[in-house]
Amino acid sequence: MQTLDEIVAESPVFGGLEPAQLQLIAGCAHNAAFSKGERIFREGDAADTFYLVRRGRVALTAHVPGRGDVTIETVEPGEVLGWSWLFPPYTWHFDARAVEDAGVVAFDGACLRGKCDADHALGFELMRRFAQVMIDRLQHTRTLLLDVYGHGPGS
C-alpha cells in the first residue's frame, strides 16, 4: 500500500517538486472516501480543501432551475478536483458529487495557503501547477462552448 508521501510524489500535479516541498504538502493531506452519490462540496461553501482523485469518478455539477443538476465535467482518477482554495474568495463555484464510490487524497488548502505565504518558492510552484490545471479546464470549457455536435452535418 502506498504512503501519502508516495502518492503525492507520483501525482501528475505534484510530480517533480523538491522532496522537502513534497513532504510539506503530504503533511497537509489525508486519505478520504466518498460513497456513490455523496456530495463532496457545494457551490458557495468555503473552499478550504482540494482533492486528488485516486479511484472512482466525481461530477462537477451546477443546479439549473428547471433542469436540475447538470453535470458539466467529470474528474477522473489522477486528476485534481478543486482550485478555488487557492484564490479569494475561497468559495466553491460548483457542486461536486461522487458518481461512484470514490477514493481521494484530501489536502488542507487553508494550511497550504499559509505555507505558500511563508515559502514563496513553494507558492510559485503550486501557483504554476494549478494554473496549468485551470488552463486545462478553461480549454475544455471553451471546446464545450463550441457545441461541436449541435449543428454538425449528417454522416
Partner 1 sequence: MATAPAAETAPRGAMAPEPYRVASRAPETVDTWTLLLEPLGAPIVPAPGQFNMLYAFGVGEVPISTSAAPEPGGELVHTIRAVGPVTQKLCATEPGDVIGVRGPFGTTWPLEEARGGDLVIVAGGIGLAPVRPAVYHALTHRDDYGSLCVLVGARTPSDLLYVRELEDWRGRFDVEVGVTVDSAVGDWHGRVGVVPRLIPGAAFDPAATTALVVGPEIMMTFTAKALLEQGVPKERIYVSMERNMRCGLGHCGHCQLGPMLICRDGPVFRYDEMEALMGVREL
Q: Which stretches of the chain bind partner 1, using CB under 8 A?
A: 57, 59, 67-74, 76, 99-100, 140, 143-144, 146-150, 152-155
Residue number with CB closer to partner 1 (2 or 141): 141
| Nearby residues of 10 by Cβ (< 8 Å), 6 or more positions away | 2
Residue number with CB closer to partner 1 (66 or 89): 66
CB of 14 to partner 1, least distance (A): 18
CB-based contact 45:91 (threshold 8 Å): yes
CB of 153 to partner 1, least distance (A): 5
Residue number with CB closer to partner 1 (89 or 152): 152
CB of 136 to partner 1, least distance (A): 9
The residue to which cell 461530477 is assigned: 59
The residue to which cell 489522477 is assigned: 78
Residue number with CB closer to partner 1 (38 or 117): 38
Retrieve residue 135's grid coordinates: 488552463
Write out the DSSP string of 72-110. Answer: EEEE-TT-EE--GGGSTT-B-SSEEEESS-EEEEEEEHH
CB of 24 to partner 1, least distance (A): 28
Does the bond joining 12 to the residue before it have cis omega, within 30 degrees of 0? no
